[in-house]
A and B are shown apart, each in its own frame.
Chain A
Amino acid sequence: MIQVEHMNKTFKVARRSAGFSNAVKALFHKETDTVHALSDISFHIGDGEMVGYIGPNGAGKSSTIKILSGILTPDSGTCQINGRIPWKDRKEHVKDIGVVFGQRTQLWWDVPVIDSFELLRDIYDIPRHQYLITLEELTQLLALEEIIKTPARQLSLGQRMRCEIAASLLHTPKILFLDEPTIGLDAVSKLAVRDFIRKLNRIHKTTVLLTTHDMQDIDALADRVLLIGKGRLLLDGTLSDLKSRCEPPCATLDEIVASLYREFHI
């Protein structure tokens, strides 16, 4: 159960005009802009839900994920996940969540993937028998058998992403945050990742919150969509709600979202 109420987060960003003289000026006097990454965000996500979190670049998607996973502290507002406040009870909280950052890797570059997994077993202190069961299941569902003994640097992006997802799930978290999990993947890998997430949700009732720019991800996975723009939550509804908002009826999901972005001026 994820409950977010009136959450705000601002960042200070240094601002200066182009040119060398301005760069020198900035050395002595720094002008900063306050950017409202999130303003007054509220939503609830029930257990076992699969929610798509969409919005243009810089809308605040990653900031939300980082707050929900306890990395960042919001300026105000409350957030409770399974009865815990993520940033206050960080160490307990992170045992319950798995996080995949599509653009970053948590695998050790030079050693076989299985070694990275073993280290994660130690980090999360997973009992050996439970680890073996989970690993067996993940290996089967994500077809890791062939690639698990290869160093991460020799894997293709698609293979690595599958390993990445497995690495985030070894400690059997109840909640999974996916930050652009299909970015840069080919068609086959995308389908494999989507298929896996659906199965995971069906078998283990894992709650999934997914940010993406690929509308087909949303179509395939999300029962519910949160649209965020300029730090504000603009829409919270099902995929058909989203489609019905569009006049005239648009052909593709991408066009619908683009028209929504236009409608909300984001």
Chain B
Amino acid sequence: MNLIRLYVNFFLMHLKSMMQHKVSFFMTLTGQFLISFNIFLGVYFMMTRFHQVKGFSYSEVLLCFSITLMAFTLAETIFRSLDTFETIIGNGEFDRILLRPINSLFLVLCSKIELTRFGRLLQAVVMLVYGVSSSSIVWTPLRCLLVVLMILGGICVFAAIYLIFACLCFFTLEGLEFMNVFTDGAREYGKYPIGIYGKNVLFICTYLVPFALFQYYPLLYLTGKSDNSWYLLLPLCCALFLIPAFLLWNLGLRHYQSTGS
């Protein structure tokens, strides 16, 4: 409970800091909104031309896109600090974090809460409402729950990737841009159900980096293309991906060497 209160207080501090730079804040907010809107337009124009992709209709693709966008945006808002972890190590802020009597990972997350991502979050909410309402799916409580699980599973996968990315900084002390392939890349590819990219991509996204577990398989169930009820549980399995990420974090923490001051 204490940690939640602390997180709220950090959140308020970020908000206060942000309000000092109002113009910058609102510009970034708008920018974030427009970027995501752009992606949506891409899907829209593609679908007006082709009507369906590998058996998925426009509204189904839209639902898939909005769920991925939602998961990605929430993850980015919360875990953004891990994405820029090399600066936290580089400017000595991590030393300061280690001087606090609180879990270091928690404080890293508190150190940056990306409020400008609310622009994208708003976009994601609009898309999700649009996607849910325009789909021909009969919304049973189970299916609603599945959508929530898909979003939660997605957050877990993105969080784990951010965490692994941050752990590597312990060893390199520098950022690794190639990791963006997994985060930004997944957001781009996640517009469409993973299955349409073919067997190999699906295999990788199932067993290696489990994007398909929260996106493709549950979507098959959601849209009635499969009635394998095991698919309902797959988003939960995404949480397992966090375990190796946490282990790696602890390994990195032991390896931490600080920087000169």
Given contacts A69-B99, A123-B102, A111 and B13 within 8 Å (CB-CB): yes
The answer to whether B98 and A110 have CB atoms under 8 Å apart is no
A69 nearest CB neighbor, chain B only: B99
- Is A53 an interface residue, CB under 8 A from the partner? no
- Residue in A closest to B5 when the chains form the complex, CB atoms: A122
Do A110 and B5 touch (CB < 8 A)?
no
B13 touches A104 (CB 8 A): no
Chain B residues near A110 (CB-CB < 8 A): 16-17, 20-21
With both beta carbons as reference points, the residue of chain B lying nearest to A118 in the complex is identified as B9
Tell whether A94 is near chain B: CB-to-CB under 8 Å: yes
Interchain nearest-CB distance for B98 vs A (Å): 5
A70 at the interface (CB under 8 A from B): yes
Which of A95-103, A128-136, A254-262 contacts the other chain?
A95-103
Q: Is A11 an interface residue (CB 8 A)?
A: yes
Is B250 positioned at the interface, with any CB of A under 8 Å from its CB? Answer: no
> B9 — nearest CB in chain A belongs to which residue?
A122
Q: How far is the CA of A101 from the CA of B92 in the complex (A)?
A: 10
Instruction: Please pick, from B6, B99, B102, the residue contacting A71 in the complex, using a CB distance under 8 A.
Output: B99
Taking the complex as formed, is B200 at the interface, i.e. its CB lies under 8 A from any CB of chain A? no
Q: Known contacts A62-B260, A94-B99, A106-B96; can you find 14 more A-B pairs with CB under 8 A?
A: A71-B95, A71-B98, A91-B101, A92-B101, A94-B98, A97-B99, A99-B99, A101-B92, A104-B95, A109-B17, A111-B16, A119-B13, A124-B100, A125-B2
Could you pull out 7 A-B pairs where Cβ atoms are within 8 angstroms?
A: A62-B260, A94-B101, A110-B21, A115-B13, A124-B101, A125-B2, A179-B261
Q: Give me the interface of A with B, judged by CB distance under 8 Å.
A: 11, 58, 62, 66, 69-73, 90-92, 94-95, 97, 99, 101, 103-104, 106, 108-111, 115, 118-119, 122-125, 151, 179
